[in-house]
Amino acid sequence: MDLKQEAARVAYTLIKNDSSIGLGDGATIRWLAVHLAEGIRCGLNISLYTSSLQTKDFLQQAGIHVPDISSTDSLDQYFDGCDQLDYQLNALKSGAGIHTQEKLLGAMAKQFIILGDDSKFVKKLENKFPLVLEVLPQSTKYVIKKIKTIFPEVSLSIRTQENTGRPLITRNGNHLLDCRFPQWPELAIMQNQCKNITGVVEISLFYNLVTGAIIAGHNGVRRYERIHEQVSIIQNPF
């Protein structure tokens, strides 16, 4: 059983006609895009937006029009993957370096749903993944100094291009700082401290933003939802 396909299959059952949908990046989201493309061919009427150039290219190759994010200010649902998701639905999305766009669509959405498998669903976020800061290029040295002052134990590196060794430039024209901690600080503290540094555009911690999750395992698919700050499992037959 392909767990990514299973998570995408269940996610597709939540999508309603005449709704606005956002998609993120990754293999699981690509499977969801396959379902959506087939649904649209069969008469499903939805508006589709994405934070990912790869997902946008896939949808356009399927003949689906994908407007720019700037053309909307709200979504019914936003679906995305993650590096890890904890039991309180706090997510890390550090790999692709597009977390600013992802967080924008997540904030627009009435429902922000993470798709993943059991390996990504953990009691507490693990430090094998960095916290990534998107920062204005002119602020990079200042942000590094401030981060080291607040978190002396952190190891910092500017993400670079593989071929040139020069700083990787995001779609927004910014730099990415990878911050590695021997142990994660308190998430609420890290959220507030990092976001308050002048020059930081966004961080790859999605704290208290995700509203639901679909987790696929070899024993089946589980759906979680945050209601009044409490995360509960929804006993739906999938």
Q: How many CB atoms lie within 10 A of CB 146?
A: 18
Same domain, 154 and 177: yes
| CB crowding 93-103: b at 16 or more within 10 Å, else e | bbbbbbbbbbb
Based on the residue annotation, tell me whether 102 is a catalytic residue of this protein. Answer: yes
Q: Do 15 and 86 belong to one domain?
A: yes
What's this model's pTM, rounded to 2 decimal places?
0.94
Tally the domains of the chain: 2
* Statement to judge: residues 192 and 216 lie in one domain: no
Contact 77, 12 (CB under 8 A): no
Q: Is 63 exposed, middle or buried (0-12, 13-18, 19+ CB in 10 A)?
A: exposed
Tell me, yes or no, whether 158 lies in a domain. Answer: yes
- Are 48 and 162 in the same domain? no
CATH number at residue 100: 3.40.50.1360
Looking at the fold, whether 103 and 140 belong to one and the same domain comes out as no
- Which residue bears the tokens 């978190």? 151
Do both 67 and 165 map to the same domain? no
Residues 44 and 111 in one domain: yes
In order of 37, 92, 112, 114, 145, the CA distances from 194 in angstroms are 39, 15, 23, 23, 12
**Are 105 and 198 in a shared domain?**
no
Tokens of 147: 């981060």
Residue 135, domain CATH: 3.30.70.260
Domain holding 46, by residue range, is 3-119+207-234
Q: Which residue among the candidates 6, 38, 102, 229 is catalytic per the annotation?
A: 102
Per-residue pLDDT of the chain (238 residues; tens, 9 = 90+): 689 999 999 999 999 999 999 999 999 999 999 999 999 999 999 999 999 999 999 999 999 999 999 999 999 999 999 999 999 999 999 888 899 999 999 999 999 999 999 999 999 999 889 999 999 999 999 999 999 999 999 999 999 998 888 999 999 999 999 999 999 999 999 999 999 999 999 999 999 999 999 999 988 999 999 988 889 998 665 5
Residues 6+ apart with CB under 8 A from 121: 84, 85, 86, 87, 213, 215
pLDDT tens digit string along 50-97?
999 999 999 999 999 999 999 999 999 999 999 999 999 999 998 888
